[in-house]
Homo-oligomer: A and B are copies of this chain.
Amino acid sequence: MITERRRGPQRSESSRQAILTAAAHLLIEHGYDHLTVEGIATEAHVGKQTIYRWWPSKAAVIADALAEGLLIPEVVIPPDSGDVRADLRVWFLTIFGFLGIPGNETLLRSLVVAATSNDDVAVRLDERLGLWQALSGRLESEQVDALLGGLVVRALRGGTLDENFAERLIATVIR
């Protein structure tokens, strides 16, 4: 197979990385509103045009940063142990651990806003959370909606996210 290569300079991988890293950092630090393309460009030591050349909007940059794992670490998707409730318990505790880190509640709000405004972000966020992959075929879609939605609503309301809540939410939705 012939790899068709353009003539002329290739896209700079180092700039791409710098942009995504800067965007992730600024999102975590200052939130989605307050996130500016100029700020990203400055922090990444990059021209603004280099961002606009490759991404249509700052939301698209965030979507890529998500996909690269710069915002949410790889969620451990437990192997199918056969016991769905046990698998879910592990998943919830992982998420809770992440959300328990100071500042990450703000990050969650930013990501919800971004995902609500931009479908790409929504898709990447879903991938990151890994709930669908973990449960594909093992649960009905409305069960997944209820689990994920219940978690997010609880978190945004500032409710406590502990083992007890996980237990009760799982018990509510499964069976």
By a beta-carbon cutoff of 8 Å, the part of chain A in contact with chain B is 33, 109, 112-113, 115-117, 122, 140-143, 145-154, 156-157, 159, 165, 168-169, 172-173
Contact = CB atoms under 8 A, between A and B. Distances in A.
A172 B146 contact: yes
Contacts of A145: 149-151, 153-154, 157, 159, 169
B33 A157 contact: no
Contacts of A169: 142, 145-146
A122 B172 contact: no
A96 B167 CA distance: 30
Given A157-B122, A168-B140, A146 B173 contact: yes
Contact of A117 (B109, B147, B165): B109
A122 B173 contact: no
A128 B33 CA distance: 26
From A141, A147, A151, A172, name the one whose CB has the most chain B CB atoms within 10 angstroms: A172
A108 to B, nearest CB: 9
A149 B142 contact: no
Q: Which 10 A-B pairs have the closest CB atoms?
A: A149-B149, A146-B150, A149-B153, A145-B150, A146-B146, A149-B150, A145-B153, A142-B169, A142-B168, A145-B154
A154 B117 CA distance: 15
A1 to B, nearest CB: 29
Contacts of A115: 156
B113 A117 contact: yes
Given A116-B116, A142-B172, A146-B147, 10 more contacts: A109-B116, A113-B117, A122-B157, A142-B150, A142-B165, A143-B172, A145-B149, A148-B153, A149-B152, A149-B154
